[in-house]
Amino acid sequence: MLFQLLLYSTLAIAVTPTHRLKQSIINRKYDMDVRPVLNLEDVTTVTVTPNKYVLLMMDQQQETMRFLQEFLITWEDPHLTWNRTDYGYKKDWIKIPESIVWTPDVIFQSAIDREGMVPLEERMIDLKYDGTLRQSNPSVIELPCSLRIEDFPFDVQKCSMSIGSWNFDDSQILMKTSTDRILPVEGRFEGNSEWELVGVEAVDEKILDAFTQGLYSVTTYKVTLKRKPVYYVLVIQAPTFIVSTLTIFGLFTPFSQHSFRKEKVTLGLNMFVSISMMLNLVSDMMPKASRLPLLGNYILAEIFVCGSAVLVSIFILTLHQKCHTRALKPPQWLLRVILFRCSVKIEANDTSRNFITENTSNHRPFGKIQDTLKKTSQIVQEELQYCETVDKLRKLWLHVFDRLDLLCLILFQLFNIIASALFMR
């Protein structure tokens, strides 16, 4: 009794509508190596429907992009139709092994690498009662993408990928897209942490093969990606601006002592090297193009500003050294331009400090002592006046160079702000 029940249940399973339909399809005389058409002149229309596009990586130096894709490919096979009433199968679609039917050789024509996620022997294909087949083959694709880096890191890139038949021309297989534009959808159509997917545009084209001189039908998808610049602004641009600002402040902040100017020049040179390292960091990220990106031009501008500031600071240091040691009187035009003064009265004694000799009477012993005291007093007085004059000149020059430092500070900081504003535009 138990054996009969098992036999009946096994036969019941074997004759289910799904099983009978699959057996009917598999047992048909079907040549999977021949394009399924009723007439040789008939064209097989292959419709491409994007179901998933997720950007995984953009290699900027190699100018390639790597993404996860799932494109649904649909076509009709007139040899695989069936009547649902004959088999008692109420559904429109049934899954059959992909390896038993003809599939179009549709590929990404410029792909560098492709990694399928499902092995060939495990792939299934959807078959509709009217002979429509739907194939899904999710995979990871690597494609070349020419980058235009002039606006980096505020750049927008457009990468193209063409899908078409490798062997059949447009008289045998015609590619057709199901939609002409795809908008971002979280989890299905999106970029990565660095790139934002703006959209995907699709267009059906025909390309000429240079070898066979035949036209091949392809569907080209133009992917628009927008870079997220926050990382580059915070990690490269902001530190460069801060270092440049501190360099200019360090070079031209007025000091009360002349000896501090040498320390300012040393500080400026160290900061100059730091900014140069930023440019080296940017160049390692970008492809070796004929033009520098926007961020590279910004760093070059900051290097030029800081380099000019260091040269001006060295010139001011040299000039201040000469004026400090030679006790020169500032010209009137410099006082009018720098200090906004018409004139400065400084009674400068003769730096040779001539000694006045008089023929005094030497009749009395005390007369010689008196004359010597007068001469000594006059020499001391002249020396004090000379030191006072030199001290006034040095203070005046210090005031002039302090004002000159302030003007240079304002001027170079203005250049620094303008360069940053042009970068952020």
Task: Write out pLDDT tens, residues 181-205.
Answer: 999 999 899 999 999 999 999 999 9
Q: DSSP letters of 343-393?
A: -----PPPTT-PPP------SSHHHHHHHHHHHHHHHHHHHHHHHHHHHHH
pLDDT of residue 328: 74
Write out the DSSP string of 100-138: GS----EEETT-SEEEESS-GGG-EEEEETTSEEEEE--
pLDDT in tens, 160-180: 999 999 999 999 999 999 999
Higher per-residue pLDDT: 202 or 393 = 202
pLDDT of residue 353: 47
What are 51-88's pLDDT values in tens digits?
999 999 999 889 999 999 999 999 999 999 888 887 87
The distance from CA 159 to its chain's CA centroid, rounded to whole angstroms, is: 16
- pLDDT computed for residue 358 by the predictor: 47
For position 12, what pLDDT does the model report? Answer: 46
Flag whether pLDDT at 257 surpasses 60. Answer: no
- The CA-based diameter of the chain, rounded to the nearest angstrom, is 168
Residue 14 banded pLDDT, cuts 50, 70, 90: low
CA distance linking residue 393 with residue 385, whole number of Å: 12
- Mean pLDDT over 329-333 rounds to 75
The 3-state DSSP class for residue 396 equals helix
pLDDT at position 32 is 87
Comparing 235 with 340, the larger pLDDT belongs to 235
Return the pLDDT at 127: 93
Higher-confidence position of 375 and 142: 142
Q: Across-strand partners of 221? A: 161, 202
Would you say residue 317 has pLDDT above 70?
A: yes
- Asked if the model's pLDDT at residue 269 lies above 80, the reply is no
As a whole number of angstroms, the distance between CA 225 and CA 195 comes to 6
Top pLDDT among 250 and 42 is at 42
Percent of the chain exceeding pLDDT 90 equals 42
Residue 56: predicted pLDDT: 96
Mean pLDDT for the chain?
83
Q: What is the pTM of this model?
A: 0.78
**pLDDT classification of 360: cutoffs 50, 70, 90:** very low
Q: Which of 4-8, 203-207, 405-409 has the lowest mean pLDDT?
A: 4-8
